Amino acid sequence: MIKRVIARVQTLFKRKPKRAGREPKRIPAAEHSINRELVSRSALRVCESLQKAGHRAYIVGGAVRDLLLDIAPKDFDIATDATPEQIKSHFRRAFIIGRRFKLVHVMFGQETIEVSTFRALVNVDRLIDEHGRVLSDNLYGEQNEDSARRDFTINALYYDPTTGEVLDYHEGVKDLRARRLRMIGDPAERYREDPVRMLRAVRFAAKLGFAIDEATREPIHRMADLIENVPAARLFDEMLKLLTSGHAVACITRLRAEGLHHGLLPLLDVILEQPAGERFVMLALSRTDERVRAGKSISPGFLFATLLWNDVLVKWNARLANDENRIPALNLAIDETIDAQTEKLAIQRRFVADMREIWGLQPRFERRTGRSPLRLVEHLRFRAGYDFLLLRSAADEMPVALGDWWTRFVQASPEEREQLIVEAASEKGSTPVAGVGTGTRRRRRRRGRTGDGAASGASSE
């Protein structure tokens, strides 16, 4: 205990020159291109409230980077010298969160502003695992120390919306103009502290179209195995950011090039090596990118359903080859795929439920007679299942005619739907497709009941 106290005192003395030493480059509003119209009013309110209370407060990180690139930020983070408890005291709806490092979420309606306290550069009490990954680190420090703790130079920029100044400690603006992604400090050491930084490097480079600095890029391939030590929940969050960035295709391509696709989604590398699977996945990702860039909503459940579908399909067809009943075989294939994935990736339950329903609806699109189509369009997940069917058709996994029929059915009037059902019933034969038409048990003919006028052979879904 005494040794720890002595070490902390020594650390504080060592830090004094750093506090007074490194000064940031101050870039006035006249020299940068930040458009204040792109700045969140909620972020402005947080900064103004903390500054009025006598604290320093700045918009920091990705929001400043995007503002300098004339991109509207998705979210805003604030850095301040106020402690979490002090931050919380200034706002009615504020919540302290986090274990590894405490943060405050300040709520304004549906918008959340994340506020962090400046972090110290050296903390002898911080907890690390045997691989060097930081587990807990809640020692607060000065702004220059906080800047050195951030990952990339372009994410270590501070914007004071009151004065309009940008504070730059690590030539981040210069790297932005050179379209270069560069790690602050020793890259190998920073990756060891937090292996997720390797994924972030790929995501930022793909999203922004930046080149990764050679010193930053070199350790990634040989240190990729460290990603195995990242908690599944955090890995899932990072993967979701990557896939919903609007640049998922570029991200997956870069992941492959850097050898980082292993361990993110088990079997993703196998899927991408199979022509049919790769075509389907890349088509799904490209359409997701289009929706994100157009400002449309996307469903994480649908996205992960597309990524893992090829694995379900392979397992399903393998069971059908053994003459298993078609629907139970599909359900078992789904169970096997989900169980394999959740060992590595903490996919949230609500997303898993969406995935199961989307997959489970696919055989029902084959049934276009009787009341089945009318019941199917009333299903809560019909639209997601229908979009999934169209994706399969576009990837030549299903007949294009089937997708066209359902498109006409969706747009048709009640009378036109009845006619489409009649047309479907009059079609002779069917084209075998993946997961369909093999190993299917014959349906028993229901016996008609005598004496009560009931019709025999009633249609069933």
Beta partners for residue 174, in sequence order: none
Alpha carbon dihedral 390, 392, 398, 404, in 10-degree steps, equals: 10
Q: Are 394 and 281 in contact (CB under 8 A)?
A: no
Grade residue 283 by pLDDT with cuts at 50, 70 and 90: very high
| DSSP assignment letter at 69 | T
Whether the predicted pLDDT of 126 surpasses 60: no
**How far is it, in rounded angstroms, from Cα 35 to Cα 67?**
7
Residue ranges of domains in the chain, CATH in brackets: 1-178 (3.30.460.10), 300-426 (1.10.3090.10)
Q: Are 95 and 88 in contact (CB under 8 A)?
A: yes
Q: Quick one: pLDDT at residue 39?
A: 96
Grade residue 123 by pLDDT with cuts at 50, 70 and 90: low
Grade residue 169 by pLDDT with cuts at 50, 70 and 90: very high
| DSSP assignment letter at 456 | S
pLDDT > 70 in the chain, percent: 82
Residue 324, number of CB atoms within 10 A of its CB: 18
Q: Are 272 and 249 in contact (CB under 8 A)?
A: no
Three-state DSSP state, 105: strand
Give the chain's mean pLDDT. 84
Q: Quick one: pLDDT at residue 274?
A: 73
Whether the predicted pLDDT of 457 surpasses 50: no
Which of 319, 318, 303 shows the shortest CA–CA distance to 268? 303
Task: Check the CA dihedral 263-65-189-14 and report its sign.
Answer: negative
Whether the predicted pLDDT of 413 surpasses 50: yes
Provide the pairing of β-strand 111-117 with 77-80.
parallel
Whether the predicted pLDDT of 86 surpasses 70: yes
The label of the residue with tokens 């270069």 reads 180
Alpha carbon dihedral 244, 250, 253, 259, in 10-degree steps, equals: -70
In 182-299, where does DSSP find H-type helix? Answer: 187-193, 196-208, 214-223, 232-243, 248-258, 268-273, 275-293
Beta partners for residue 112, in sequence order: 107
**How far is it, in rounded angstroms, from Cα 165 to Cα 266?**
45
Contacts of 5 (CB under 8 A, 6+ apart): none
Grade residue 278 by pLDDT with cuts at 50, 70 and 90: confident
Q: Quick one: pLDDT at residue 428?
A: 52
Determine the distance from the C-alpha atom of residue 58 to the mean position of all C-alpha atoms in its chain, rounded to a whole number. Answer: 27
Catalytic residue annotation:
75, 77, 151
Whether the predicted pLDDT of 111 surpasses 80: yes
Q: How confident is the model over 131-157, as a mean pLDDT?
A: 82
Whether the predicted pLDDT of 91 surpasses 50: yes
Q: Which two tokens stand for residue 409?
A: 């059915």
| DSSP assignment letter at 436 | S
Q: Are 412 and 373 in contact (CB under 8 A)?
A: no
Q: Quick one: pLDDT at residue 451?
A: 41
Q: Quick one: pLDDT at residue 130?
A: 57
Contacts of 196 (CB under 8 A, 6+ apart): 227, 230, 234, 235, 238
Q: Quick one: pLDDT at residue 50?
A: 97
Task: Check the CA dihedral 319-323-329-335 and report its sign.
Answer: negative
What tens digit of pLDDT does each residue of 3-15 get? 444 444 344 333 3
Three-state DSSP state, 247: coil
Q: Quick one: pLDDT at residue 393?
A: 94
DSSP secondary structure string, 351-404?
A: HHHHHHHHHHHGGGGG--STTHHHHHTTSTTHHHHHHHHHHHHHTTSS-HHHHH
Q: Which two tokens stand for residue 452?
A: 């009560």
Q: Are 220 and 260 in contact (CB under 8 A)?
A: yes
Q: How confident is the model over 147-157, as a mean pLDDT?
A: 95
Q: Quick one: pLDDT at residue 153?
A: 97
309, 318, 360 from 323: Cα distances, Å: 21, 9, 19
Q: Quick one: pLDDT at residue 131?
A: 56
Residue 139, number of CB atoms within 10 A of its CB: 19
Q: Where are the beta strands (DSSP E) in 46-86?
A: 57-60, 77-80
What tens digit of pLDDT does each residue of 347-405 get? 888 899 999 999 999 999 999 999 999 999 999 999 999 999 999 999 999 999 999 99
Beta partners for residue 106, in sequence order: 94, 113
Q: Are 43 and 161 in contact (CB under 8 A)?
A: yes
Whether the predicted pLDDT of 276 surpasses 90: no
**How far is it, in rounded angstroms, from Cα 50 to Cα 62?**
21
Q: How confident is the model over 142-154, as a mean pLDDT?
A: 94
- Specify the range with the lowest mean pLDDT, choosing from 87-91, 119-123, 296-300, 334-338: 119-123
**How far is it, in rounded angstroms, from Cα 117 to Cα 143?**
9
**How far is it, in rounded angstroms, from Cα 114 to Cα 76?**
7
What tens digit of pLDDT does each residue of 13-42 get? 333 334 444 789 999 999 998 999 999 999
What tens digit of pLDDT does each residue of 49-80 get? 999 999 999 999 999 999 999 999 989 999 99
Whether the predicted pLDDT of 255 surpasses 50: yes
Q: Are 79 and 58 in contact (CB under 8 A)?
A: yes
Grade residue 137 by pLDDT with cuts at 50, 70 and 90: low
121, 198, 227, 340, 383 from 216: Cα distances, Å: 20, 9, 16, 33, 43
Q: How confident is the model over 293-314, as a mean pLDDT?
A: 91
Q: Quick one: pLDDT at residue 19?
A: 43
